[in-house]
């Protein structure tokens, strides 16, 4: 993490590109919490890179005065992995929506988790495809009637938090865009976590599937007596769906991907010369 | 039968050590100062299935696997039965007389019966059968025993405990041949008397990997796929030593996106795959083109479509490399033509990628990737790594990542550069990189990105190693092609010239941007252009026809596509026959005119 003594203010970190999001979109809350987290952590924005996939939330990088990469649909995790691997000094974020993370890009999640790449992955989950104007997503509840599901959805929704916990992720948390202070803290903890930090953020879509009221009703902080080093207990909490717990479900310190890469380099040694290598092929 | 130009085939079951015999024998030959060129076919299975190892050994550079088989080596009856019919008349057969017996149709072949199994058992070392056979081969074909022993030490020295036994087995085979065969085979080798020149012996994939390291590649992400995997394996061992890293990705889509991410961070990065993997990478290749991030993508082509024939060769991905991607993203395509060329062309690929901030696809193939070839030492000191130009932010107050420039190449920053932040944007964007869909901006940006291809075309005209042209300038008949069919073409042409035919040839190594000036100059005065390639529709021939239709029609030049799609590389005779056929056709036409 590269910091600076004079932290920038939120307004300096905000780019002059105006978000295209609908008024009231949960993603505004996530953006503001992220900017606050960056200033609180005194991060040098020259060393911050934000990668994103496709969806409403994919526009995120352009709104921040930091390095950004708006990639293709579903591939934000490998993209962010590449960015981090090539320069471990960078603080790397991956951001995207539920379609990007749990549908088209779902195959990358377990691998980012098991590599324990030191990136913070913020998934803005609105349970709908917003950018394409309201089709069911992998987290949409059964029975949702949309143009693409005129008789109601019938596929069972995924449980992202439980899923990622089962992948062995070393940091798993859930936040809510309507709770900016708590969300800022979660993002900060994710950044400080030396490994893959997964953050599911409930970020409702006011236009196609407004869940503000529902989540305000069922959201509750994780019970104080929860042991966040107990993965089984964390999964149990995550499996509770009538209450949506917010906070850190699980955290564990494990060697990060770049620490493991450094170990490999030590094992390989550094006595390399092209001349010697070519000698192996001299006839 | 020619002395010092020998095609040898070893056939048998996978797992019998066929490849070991072949690899060690050709290395002994190379070590003795001869030139080598191998050709392997593998079964798709790990164990079991029929394996063929073929090598050509000669005293001048070997350009192809040859036409006919002079020597057959078999360790069992099946190896004999499967290949005896492909042996040229008057060929040579070495067989294990403990396990195989010649059939009535052995014809006029010279047979050498060696009780390989029995000899190996006599020293209580059944595993040494391979070495017994190698020993006999070394003696019969005239290679020096001391070089053979040195090579066995080099190749098998890591099995310390077995080394004395291996050397004993080698000697056993050598002595058996010396004591029992007085007749020299009709084909044999005569290594040069003076010490061998210090050349290299390696495979195409090894040369590619070495070239990548030399070019400064430090991040490699890839997914296992035949026949590209050993590039990853090679780099996994070497890259960490230079502070680099190899990531085995979860799939090819992840691999290319990791490569793009790493390059965005400022490190030279590459991925390698085969056709099925390249198919998966197409969307992200477009992203690299749109965001103008340099990446190198190696496609070791294999026969397709779909899973196709993973262990068989083809040049069928040219269209994929040239045209794949929604709305035609600009990219470059490079095609090496020999093991040695793999080293230099991957360096060209990195330099082009970095300089023009563009994805570069390198087309190798299954014939080139695993084959062992002898070649000159690489001129490492001459290698120039061209870096991407990073903008000087102090001198350049108004930094715009996607500034529209005359060359199409825009100033660039990498994370860590203060004040240089931008978003690499896969949406259409303005000069700052912010999404922008106006008709004016889109067409201006499309033109800017495409301009890089034309500027690179001009620059490449000055590069020395991106086109190979040879033969008779004045010839009415010419051969054009790309990639690994260069060797067979060179050989076919040499043979045609020996018969008094005039032929010219041109192989571009960079297929996109196509070297238009060179090709247009080359076409002048020709009557017929033969284009041999290993795909069904003649992809390169169609590209040439389309791109140079004006010249071809104006000068009445005929394009003659010679395609082969059997999973096998060209034999020189196939190209030679076509040259002769076309020459006759032209003569007849001239008579009618």
Helix (H, G, I), strand (E, B) or coil at B415: coil
Q: Which residues contact B466 (CB under 8 A, 6 or more apart)?
A: B348, B460, B508, B509, B510, B515
Fold of the domain built from segment(s) B467-592:
Rossmann fold (3.40.50)
In degrees rounded to 5, what are phi and psi of residue B572?
-55, -35
- Cβ atoms of B440 and B446 within 8 Å: the answer is no
Residues in chain A with CB shorter than 8 Å from the CB of B199 are 282-283
The continuous run of DSSP H or E covering A274 comes out as: helix A274-279
- B450 and chain A in contact, CB less than 8 A: no
* Mean pLDDT confidence for B340-362: 98
Q: How many degrees, rounded to 5, is the angle at CA B430 between CA B428 and CA B435?
A: 50
Determine the distance in angstroms separating the CA of A259 from the nearest CA of chain B, rounded to an integer: 12
Helix (H, G, I), strand (E, B) or coil at B469: strand
* Mean pLDDT confidence for B515-522: 96
Q: Per-residue pLDDT tens for A10-65?
A: 999 999 999 999 999 999 999 999 999 999 999 999 999 999 999 999 999 999 99
- Cβ atoms of B360 and B297 within 8 Å: the answer is yes
Q: What percent of chain B has pLDDT over 70?
A: 97
- B558 and chain A in contact, CB less than 8 A: no
Residues in chain A with CB shorter than 8 Å from the CB of B206 are 281
Residues in chain B with CB shorter than 8 Å from the CB of A79 are 257-258, 260-261
Tokens representing residue B538 in the block:
């003649």
Give, in words, the CATH class of B202-382. Answer: alpha beta
Q: Per-residue pLDDT tens for A119-151?
A: 999 999 999 999 999 999 999 999 999 999 999
Give the chain A residue whose CA is nearest to the CA of B221: A82
Q: Per-residue pLDDT tens for B98-126?
A: 988 888 677 789 999 999 999 999 999 99
Tell me what pLDDT residue A7 has: 80
- B420 and chain A in contact, CB less than 8 A: yes
Which residues in chain B (214-233) have CB-CB distances under 8 A to chain A?
214, 218-219, 221
Helices and strands, counts by H and E, chain A: 11, 10
- B210 and chain A in contact, CB less than 8 A: yes
Q: Which residues contact A204 (CB under 8 A, 6 or more apart)?
A: A25, A26, A126, A177, A210, A211, A212, A215
Determine the distance in angstroms separating the CA of A230 from the nearest CA of chain B, rounded to an integer: 28
Q: Per-residue pLDDT tens for B536-571?
A: 999 999 999 999 999 999 999 999 999 999 999 999
Tokens representing residue B526 in the block:
């020709």
Give the chain A residue whose CA is nearest to the CA of B217: A86
Helix (H, G, I), strand (E, B) or coil at A211: coil
- B418 and chain A in contact, CB less than 8 A: yes
A194: pLDDT strictly greater than 90: yes
Contact B245 A107 (CB under 8 A): no
In degrees rounded to 5, what are phi and psi of residue B482?
-150, 155
Secondary structure (H, E, C), B514-544: CCHHHHHHHHCCCCEEEEEECCCCCHHHHHH
- B257 and chain A in contact, CB less than 8 A: yes
Contact B240 A261 (CB under 8 A): yes
Contact B419 A271 (CB under 8 A): no
Residues in chain A with CB shorter than 8 Å from the CB of B433 are 62
Q: Which residues contact B587 (CB under 8 A, 6 or more apart)?
A: none
Tell me what pLDDT residue B511 has: 98
Which residues in chain B (138-177) have CB-CB distances under 8 A to chain A?
none
Residues in chain A with CB shorter than 8 Å from the CB of B424 are 68-70
Across all residues in chain B, what is the average pLDDT? 93
Contact A79 B242 (CB under 8 A): no
* A&B contacts, CB < 8 Å: 184
Tokens representing residue A237 in the block:
């909490």
Tell me what pLDDT residue B197 has: 63
Reported ipTM: 0.98
Contact A90 B415 (CB under 8 A): yes
Select from A60, A86, A89 the residue whose CB has the most chain B CBs within 10 Å, as the one to mutate to test that interface.
Answer: A86
pLDDT category at A271 given cuts 50, 70, 90 is confident
Contact A78 B257 (CB under 8 A): yes
Domain boundaries, chain B: 5-180, 202-382, 389-465, 467-592
Contact A278 B378 (CB under 8 A): yes
Which residues in chain B (279-318) have CB-CB distances under 8 A to chain A?
283-284, 286-287, 291
Tell me what pLDDT residue A283 has: 80
Contact B254 A78 (CB under 8 A): yes
Contact A83 B265 (CB under 8 A): yes
* Mean pLDDT confidence for B492-513: 97
B44: pLDDT strictly greater than 70: no
Q: Which residues contact B61 (CB under 8 A, 6 or more apart)?
A: B35, B374
- B546 and chain A in contact, CB less than 8 A: no
B2: pLDDT strictly greater than 70: no
Determine the distance in angstroms separating the CA of B200 from the nearest CA of chain A, rounded to an integer: 4
B43: pLDDT strictly greater than 60: no
Determine the distance in angstroms separating the CA of B539 from the nearest CA of chain A, rounded to an integer: 30
Tell me the helix, strand and coil percentages in chain A, rounded to 5.
40, 20, 40
Contact B250 A108 (CB under 8 A): yes
Q: Identify the bridge partners of residue B309 per DSSP, sorted by sequence position.
A: B303
Following DSSP, what letter does each residue of B480-521 receive, concatenated? Answer: E--GGGHHHHHHHHHHHHHTT--EEEEEESEEES--HHHHHH
Q: Which residues contact B516 (CB under 8 A, 6 or more apart)?
A: B457, B547
Q: Per-residue pLDDT tens for B181-225?
A: 998 899 999 888 765 567 899 999 999 999 999 999 999 999 999
Q: How many degrees, rounded to 5, is the angle at CA A6 between CA A96 and CA A44?
A: 35
Q: Identify the bridge partners of residue B39 per DSSP, sorted by sequence position.
A: B54
Q: What percent of chain A has pLDDT over 90?
A: 93
Tokens representing residue B255 in the block:
């691999």
- The domain covering A10-279 belongs, at the CATH homologous superfamily level, to Thiamin diphosphate (ThDP)-binding fold, Pyr/PP domains (3.40.50.970)
- Cβ atoms of A221 and A185 within 8 Å: the answer is no
Tokens representing residue A116 in the block:
């324990």
Give the chain A residue whose CA is nearest to the CA of B35: A283
Give the chain B residue whose CA is nearest to the CA of A16: B434
- Cβ atoms of B525 and B551 within 8 Å: the answer is no
Q: What percent of chain B has pLDDT over 90?
A: 81
- B201 and chain A in contact, CB less than 8 A: yes
| CA dist list (Å): A53 to A71, A76, A175, B433 | 5, 5, 20, 16
Q: Which of the two residues, B453 and A273, has the higher pLDDT score?
A: B453
Contact A49 B265 (CB under 8 A): yes
Query: Between B201, B260, B266, which is nearest A283 by CB?
Result: B201
Contact A107 B251 (CB under 8 A): yes
Give the chain B residue whose CA is nearest to the CA of A80: B261
Across all residues in chain A, what is the average pLDDT? 96
Tokens representing residue B370 in the block:
């695993």
How far apart (Å, rounded) are the C-alpha atoms in residues B20 and B23? 5
Determine the distance in angstroms separating the CA of B52 from the nearest CA of chain A, rounded to an integer: 23
pLDDT category at A67 given cuts 50, 70, 90 is very high
Fold of the domain built from segment(s) B5-180:
Pyruvate-ferredoxin Oxidoreductase; domain 3 (3.40.920)
Residue of B167, B496, B126, B373 lying closest to A283 (CA atoms): B373
How far apart (Å, rounded) are the C-alpha atoms in residues A92 and B468? 45
- B57 and chain A in contact, CB less than 8 A: no
Contact A89 B416 (CB under 8 A): yes
pLDDT category at B75 given cuts 50, 70, 90 is confident
Contact A87 B266 (CB under 8 A): yes
Give the chain A residue whose CA is nearest to the CA of B206: A281
How far apart (Å, rounded) are the C-alpha atoms in residues B448 and B406? 8
Tokens representing residue A32 in the block:
């503001």
pTM of the predicted model as reported, rounded to 2 decimal places? 0.95
Q: Per-residue pLDDT tens for B270-284?
A: 999 999 999 999 999
| CA dist list (Å): B295 to A89, B221, B263 | 22, 11, 7
Longest alpha-carbon distance in chain B: 86
Residues in chain B with CB shorter than 8 Å from the CB of A78 are 221, 249-250, 253-255, 257-258, 261
Q: Which residues contact A16 (CB under 8 A, 6 or more apart)?
A: none
Domain boundaries, chain A: 10-279
Residue of B574, B575, B579, B572 lying closest to B65 (CA atoms): B572
Residues in chain B with CB shorter than 8 Å from the CB of A278 are 200, 210, 377-378, 380
Domain pair B202-382 / B467-592, same fold: yes
| CA dist list (Å): B203 to B153, B231, B259, B303, B490 | 21, 10, 24, 19, 20
A244: pLDDT strictly greater than 90: yes
């Amino acid at each position: 993490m590269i910091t600076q003594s004079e932290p920038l203010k939120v307004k300096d970190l905000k780019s002059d590109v105006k978000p295209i999001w609908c008024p009231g979109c949960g993603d505004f809350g996530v953006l503001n919490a992220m900017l606050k987290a960056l200033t609180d952590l005194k991060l040098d924005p020259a060393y911050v890179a934000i990668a994103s996939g496709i969806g409403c939330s994919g526009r995120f990088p352009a709104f921040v005065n930091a390095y950004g990469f708006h990639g293709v649909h579903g591939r934000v995790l490998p993209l962010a992995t590449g960015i981090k691997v090539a320069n471990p000094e960078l603080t790397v974020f991956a951001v995207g929506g539920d379609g990007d993370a749990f549908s088209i890009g779902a195959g990358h999640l377990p691998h980012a988790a098991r590599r324990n790449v030191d990136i913070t992955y913020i998934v803005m989950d609105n349970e709908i495809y917003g950018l394409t104007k309201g089709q069911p997503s992998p987290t949409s509840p059964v029975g949702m009637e949309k143009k693409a599901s005129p008789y109601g959805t019938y596929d069972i929704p995924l449980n992202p938090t439980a899923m990622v916990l089962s992948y062995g992720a070393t940091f798993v948390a859930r936040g809510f865009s309507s709770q900016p202070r708590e969300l800022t803290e979660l993002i900060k903890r994710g950044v400080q976590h030396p490994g893959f930090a997964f953050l599911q953020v409930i970020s409702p879509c006011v236009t196609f599937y407004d869940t503000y009221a529902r989540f305000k009703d069922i959201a509750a902080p994780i019970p104080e007596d929860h042991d966040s080093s107990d993965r089984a207990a964390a999964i149990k909490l995550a499996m509770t769906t009538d209450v949506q717990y917010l906070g850190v479900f699980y955290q564990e310190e494990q060697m990060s991907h770049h620490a493991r890469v450094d170990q490999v380099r030590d094992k390989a040694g550094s006595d390399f010369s092209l001349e010697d290598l070519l000698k192996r092929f001299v006839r | 039968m020619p002395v010092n130009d020998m095609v040898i085939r070893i056939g048998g079951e996978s797992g019998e050590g066929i490849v070991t015999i072949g690899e060690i024998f050709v290395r002994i030959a190379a070590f003795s100062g001869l030139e080598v060129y191998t050709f392997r076919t593998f079964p798709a299975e790990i164990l079991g299935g029929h394996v063929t190892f073929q090598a050509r050994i000669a005293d001048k550079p070997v350009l192809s696997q040859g036409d006919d088989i002079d020597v057959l080596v078999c360790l069992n009856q099946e190896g004999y039965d499967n290949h005896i019919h492909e042996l040229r008349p008057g060929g040579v057969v070495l067989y294990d007389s403990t396990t195989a017996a010649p059939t009535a149709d052995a014809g006029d072949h010279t047979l050498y019966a060696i009780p390989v199994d029995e000899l190996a058992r006599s020293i209580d070392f059944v595993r040494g059968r391979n070495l017994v056979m190698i020993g006999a081969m070394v003696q019969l074909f005239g290679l020096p025993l001391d070089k053979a022993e040195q090579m066995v030490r080099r190749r098998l020295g890591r099995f310390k405990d077995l080394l004395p036994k291996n050397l004993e087995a080698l000697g056993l085979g050598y002595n058996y041949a010396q004591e029992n065969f007085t007749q020299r085979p009709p084909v044999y080798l005569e290594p040069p008397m003076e010490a061998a020149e210090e050349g290299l012996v390696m495979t195409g994939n090894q040369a590619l990997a070495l070239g990548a390291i030399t070019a400064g590649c430090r991040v490699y992400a890839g997914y296992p796929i035949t026949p590209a995997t050993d590039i990853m394996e090679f780099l996994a061992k070497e890259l960490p030593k230079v502070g680099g890293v190899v990531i085995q990705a979860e799939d090819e889509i992840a691999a290319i996106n990791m490569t793009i991410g790493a390059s965005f961070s400022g490190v030279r990065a590459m991925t390698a795959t085969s056709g099925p993997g390249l198919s998966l990478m197409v969307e992200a290749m477009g992203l690299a083109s749109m965001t103008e991030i340099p990446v190198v993508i190696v496609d070791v082509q294999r026969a397709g479509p779909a899973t196709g024939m993973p262990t068989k060769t083809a040049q069928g991905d040219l269209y994929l490399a040239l045209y794949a991607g929604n709305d035609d993203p600009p990219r470059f395509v490079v095609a090496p033509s020999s093991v040695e060329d793999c080293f230099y062309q991957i360096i060209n690929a990195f330099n082009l990628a970095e300089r023009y901030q563009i994805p570069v696809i390198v087309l190798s193939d299954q014939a080139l990737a695993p084959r062992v070839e002898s070649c000159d030492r690489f001129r490492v000191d001459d290698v120039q790594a061209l870096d991407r130009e990073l903008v000087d932010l102090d001198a350049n107050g108004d930094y715009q990542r996607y500034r529209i420039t005359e060359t199409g190449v825009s100033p660039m920053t990498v994370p860590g550069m203060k004040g240089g932040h931008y978003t690499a944007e896969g949406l259409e964007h303005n000069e700052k990189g912010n999404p922008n869909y106006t008709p004016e901006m889109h067409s201006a940006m499309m033109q800017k990105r495409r301009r890089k291809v034309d500027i690179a075309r001009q620059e490449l005209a000055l590069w020395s190693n991106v086109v190979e042209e040879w033969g008779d300038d004045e010839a009415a008949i010419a051969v054009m092609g790309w990639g690994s069919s260069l060797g067979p073409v060179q050989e076919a042409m040499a043979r045609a010239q020996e018969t008094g035919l005039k032929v010219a040839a041109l192989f571009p190594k960079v297929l996109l941007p196509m070297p238009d000036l060179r090709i247009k100059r080359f076409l002048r005065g020709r009557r017929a252009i033969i284009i041999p390639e290993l795909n069904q529709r003649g992809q390169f021939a169609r590209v040439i026809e389309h791109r140079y239709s004006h010249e071809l029609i104006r000068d009445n030049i005929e394009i003659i596509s010679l395609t082969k799609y059997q999973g096998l590389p060209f034999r020189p005779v196939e190209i030679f026959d076509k040259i002769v056929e076309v020459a006759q056709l032209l003569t007849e036409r001239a008579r009618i005119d």
